[in-house]
Amino acid sequence: MNSLIGRILALDVGSVRIGLAVSDALGITAQGLETYTRSDEKKDLDSICLIAKQYSAYMLVVGLPLDQYGEIGTQAKKIIDFSKTLAEAVKIPIIFIDERLTTSISEKILISANMDRHKRKKHVDKLAAVTILQTYLDMSENTRQMQKSLNDFI
């Protein structure tokens, strides 16, 4: 990864909220940014494009909620459509990462930290985005290249 280019921005896209995380300049660790509350698609796209620009993002990593059999279902199709529109708006490539367990893992982490339900709701999507991004960053270079190839089919 070239730290002179910028950072990687990760999204956990939901119907109501979008969790955002960004890599450090070296592409080693993921940090949570915010949980964005969705309004309409244009505002959502504009807001995320602004964040991508602020961090000089050169790639988007988006969590894809595959079904229990690893297939693309209705929600995953919505996220693919939104993400492709976002990629065109922000003009950077997208990598999709299987995120089936990230929200439940994030929820368990926040519960174990004794965070109350109201606060958890504010942070779970951001933490899921961190998990999605860290999963991508931890992949070997060969696995990343294979992941990019698989994404060409989506």
- Domain CATH for 68: 3.30.420.140
Under a CB-based contact definition with an 8 Å cutoff, are residues 17 and 121 in contact?
no
Q: What CA–CA distance (Å, rounded) separates 110 from 102?
A: 12
- Find the mean pLDDT for residues 66-77: 88
What pLDDT does residue 153 have? 65
Q: Is residue 98 in a domain?
A: yes
Q: Is residue 2 in a domain?
A: no
- Domain span at 111: 7-151
Q: Is residue 146 in a domain?
A: yes
Residue 81 reports pLDDT greater than 80: yes
pLDDT classification of 70: cutoffs 50, 70, 90? confident
Spell out the residues 6+ positions from residue 71 whose beta carbon is closer than 8 angstroms to its own. Answer: none
What phi and psi, each to the nearest 5 degrees, are found at residue 37?
A: -90, 125
pLDDT classification of 1: cutoffs 50, 70, 90? very low
- Find the mean pLDDT for residues 68-74: 87
Q: What CA–CA distance (Å, rounded) separates 92 from 5?
A: 12
**What is the rounded radius of gyration, in angstroms, for the C-alpha atoms of the chain?**
15
Residue 119 reports pLDDT greater than 90: no
Q: Is residue 1 in a domain?
A: no
What pLDDT does residue 107 have? 59
What pLDDT does residue 45 have? 96
Query: What total number of domains does the chain contain?
Result: 1
Residue 40 reports pLDDT greater than 90: yes
Exposed e or buried b per residue across 40-64, where buried means at least 16 C-beta atoms within 10 angstroms of its C-beta:
eeeebbebbbebbeebebbbbbbbb
Task: Using CA atoms of 34, 37, 39, 41 in order, give the dihedral in degrees to the nearest 10.
Answer: 50
Residue 4 reports pLDDT greater than 90: no
Residue with the two structure tokens 């367990």: 101
Q: Is residue 126 in a domain?
A: yes
Q: What is the pLDDT of residues 92-108, one digit of tens each?
A: 999 999 886 555 565 56
Residue 27 reports pLDDT greater than 80: yes
Percent of the chain with pLDDT over 90: 55
pLDDT classification of 3: cutoffs 50, 70, 90? very low
